[in-house]
A and B are shown apart, each in its own frame.
Chain A
């Protein structure tokens, strides 16, 4: 009897569904994202996929995993209901003061986005917890109760509570919550000591505010999802993809929607980790290029790197620092403004620049024929012969070559070069920009990018990956099958998992082990309860303790994970060893004699791993070229042979220049590269010599 699992990924443009059978069969489909009601698109994509598979919804008896952009959308659109913030007296401006940093030094016209929760909905109470956790002043319940009329008058639906030093002791926040729960039970409450118990009041308040702001939107959304599935007679409750790469039950996720941000991109990184495992590669870099941006993520030890900090909704010219900070575990990715829609122009210095401004999908690149007048990366790809005007999206969307030429000729004239030089220039510069960003990302993490294989996906990724790989000296460029629904696929191949963190600043040589054990035990309880709720068998949960450490006097921590739990063993020496190795790997030095500090403890709880592999190409057939095309990028290499990907069989070898067309993308194999199709269906390209 075949059992079926389902994954749905709602992205900015498309909603993708993947149905996987325990026999390795895969059925995929996609539909446009329905922004007015995301669940409409969810169920449409499920129906389409089931119809394709000839199955009914009750056949889905395995897991149902969902990655969604709902939280990010709520933040970008700022359409959430009124949300309030309660702070310690004297600290109501924690959001507008930020960290005082002026993120763009040279621009006197700089702007900062208004805080998510305005000053008039921020309330102060008399209370105080000290840095060591001692409660200096208790909460007065009457004071909290007195806030309720003002909350009601403003129609507040959700309240963030963020008190000073609550990362160390959340008792006063609990007290505030108890009063509100008793007197105003309909309010959603987000406590900083529960959402993001980490030192630094501004990022913690920002994280808690985001959680409070999005809860009233995500709660009904997740409830609608669960009831829709149960109505369709799907056996299991839905699981939600988290930005950490974890997967957890919808009820638990709904209490902390902030953890769901970036859940789609996280699933993409997990798919990359899956292929790393499948291909036996310890390390690689994933490269996902879409319409407006490109993302890269390092996979180390077959797992994506995770960071404790991210930023959403960069308001001002995509500048780092112009968005809202979040301190939650999250897959460590860089995103740069370079995608198919990125616009090319000539700047004041006469230089050809590409992006970050994007033509988006409206009007889109000039070749979409929807009124776009400025040349984009997609226009260049088309004029270079890399895309087939009649076969874009399987022919569903014919491209206007004349419009692309007109746009490109204006640019070429401005540069004083030929059309071919301009298109080739765009192709090269966009690769340089992505390679540069990837290099900076790797260097910043102490990783040597040279020789790392690249795993390419997204609509524009396979078109540009070999050019990027060339610049990064990648050992290989890998094109996984079904690259256009890779995030949904990633959500399906990930075990149920939750990552938790608690701040507890202390010197490693003088740790309060009882307190540390208490924190770890607390996280263990929370994680095991959440995992069992998500259907993990009690005996199958694997726990791993980690920590963020630094040398005393430093501000940035290095995160490490311990193979063996050093906390129950009270083994400070083991902690020191692991930290010093990780520090050395990043920085190449270990400052001698400087004491080590623990900043936070982490816990990862993981359910059993899934061992079903998707089937590769069925036969060993030899796909023949369907046509040949001249590519101006390679004037002396002769025409490129064009193949259809589904026609390629196992073990087939291709020599560049060649193009491999899929419905949503095209693999570009430059001269001097060759590629083979493996049993898993991946095409792996390498420089021939």
Chain B
């Protein structure tokens, strides 16, 4: 296939899933999907290999979806008929916690299976503990949906629907979002068949081979430009409750084979909090880190991910084993790229960035209005500073590796009796350096209520700020203050009417000694 035919077909495949992802994002009830684009959409060949991925979504979802598609295609091999639709939220099979539900729609052209359209989105509720890291094991965290058929030959699987309906707090929203996943999968399938007809293809097997083959070859070629050897990086950070987590990454570049292996040997063991990360999610953020430095402009698919191998000791915090709790896995997962970037800094100093604040800080509030009516806010979030780059400072109040947008102050004030006292940059919190780290921010608020209220805040890096690179200074650690007193709490807190909360998010690390 020449570079002209392939470009036309490939860009069409990416177009199909990107359109479906955009439609999903617009229609979703789940605020984190709408605001943060916390979703992924991908197109798979009949063997379950991800061939194209939407140009939107978070790394944790996208690369986990690639693994989920492969696994589900294997499980349902020879067991699918037209009209079937597959579902799971198994943390170990897809994106690492129950909130993320993956829906895979087989595409049948006449009676022939030619591929799948899959999506993962973060749902509004999944029963159990709800948002937060406080469950004692995974079963307390909500409804576990094993790989099952959500639709069978076009008919809803009523048993499964009833089970879901009885086990979530917001069934209308969950079913609304599931319906969106199903309809976008179906629409994407129709588009794929139309494309095949227009281009005279009987299936996408040869096209998938070409895309995956070229992507894999290009990634290997990019790796071959690097020197062979093993480089090590280590990141230490504290999590809610005060525990210090260490992630160690040994990055081995095999330039001859064009392969990179990342080994998390020596990293912390499992946590009693629900911040443990399944292998899929560790893999997702590891491949993300490598690819964003190596060849960020190339599309993501089975082939471009293949030359990057990830290992972690079983039972470590980055290879969580049943039945540990995993609900707030992003709290640790978003730090996964950092030791890798530190290792790569020794190889490609111009393409990495210093440590940043890591996980976004999330907040949820429950309480009563002056009228006595109870309210529960949706989860909202704030970023610290990003780490500095070799020639550019770190952006302030911007998160990495995820790219979540914040909910506006005015939207929050309109939705609940909260008053923000301030939201401004935390000047000087970025680490100094030849290029400085990005500044964190200061958010202050109080509630207009005469009753006690519940605060569920998940801060991180309260003890140690993000490290600088190459002699650059560390960013300032974060501070979580109630009435001026520092807190480090991993669970929901009972608050009094007049309490004033201040969140100071960490600054990013600087780059280069001054």
Binding site for B on A (CB under 8 A): 89-94, 96-112, 128, 130-131, 136, 164-165, 167, 199-202, 346-353, 415-417, 421-422, 424-425, 428-429, 432-433, 436, 439-440, 443-444, 505, 551, 553-556, 587-589, 591-594
Contacts and interface: CB of A to CB of B under 8 A. Distances in A.
Contacts of A425: 3-4, 7
Given A100-B382, A106-B291, A90 B423 contact: yes
Interface of B: 2-4, 6-8, 10-12, 15, 18-19, 22-23, 26-27, 29, 31, 34-35, 57-59, 172-173, 176, 179-180, 183, 214-215, 218, 221-222, 288, 291-293, 295-298, 351-353, 378, 382-383, 386, 389, 392, 395-400, 402-406, 408-411, 413-414, 419-425, 441, 444, 448
A579 to B, nearest CB: 15
B214 A91 contact: no
Nearest to A592: B172
Contacts of A436: 11-12, 15
Contact of B411 (A96, A199, A351, A428): A199
Contact of B408 (A112, A201, A443, A591): A201
A432 B12 contact: yes
A554 B2 contact: no
B29 A553 contact: yes
Contact of B18 (A167, A353, A440, A594): A440
B403 A105 contact: yes
Given A93-B425, A348-B218, A554-B29, A505 B15 contact: no
Given A108-B351, A555-B34, A201 B409 contact: yes
Contacts of A349: 3, 214-215, 218, 298
Given A112-B395, A165-B410, A90 B424 contact: yes
A100 B406 contact: yes
A417 B4 contact: yes
A103 B413 CA distance: 25
B353 A108 contact: yes
B410 A432 contact: no
A556 B408 contact: no
Nearest to A94: B423
Contacts of B11: 429, 432-433, 436
18 contacts: A102-B403, A105-B292, A199-B408, A199-B411, A200-B411, A201-B408, A348-B221, A351-B6, A429-B11, A432-B12, A440-B15, A440-B22, A444-B23, A551-B29, A553-B29, A588-B183, A589-B183, A592-B172
Given A93-B424, A100-B397, A444 B19 contact: yes
Contacts of A104: 403
A28 B487 CA distance: 72
A346 B420 CA distance: 52
Contacts of A100: 382-383, 397-399, 404-406
B26 A351 contact: no
A458 B284 CA distance: 45
Nearest to A166: B410
Given A199-B414, A349-B215, A97 B397 contact: yes
Contacts of B409: 91, 164, 201
A435 to B, nearest CB: 9
A104 to B, nearest CB: 8
A165 B418 CA distance: 13
A445 to B, nearest CB: 9
Nearest to A432: B8
Contacts of B411: 199-200
A300 B4 CA distance: 35
B219 to A, nearest CB: 10
Contact of B423 (A97, A416, A591): A97
B400 A108 contact: yes
Contacts of A594: 172, 176
Contacts of A128: 419
Contacts of A439: 15, 19
Contacts of B221: 348
Given A102-B403, A444-B22, A91 B12 contact: no
A99 B403 CA distance: 10
Contact of A93 (B7, B27, B423): B423
Nearest to A353: B7
A459 B56 CA distance: 33
Nearest to A108: B353
B213 to A, nearest CB: 10
B236 to A, nearest CB: 21
A416 B15 CA distance: 26
Given A108-B352, A199-B411, A429 B58 contact: no
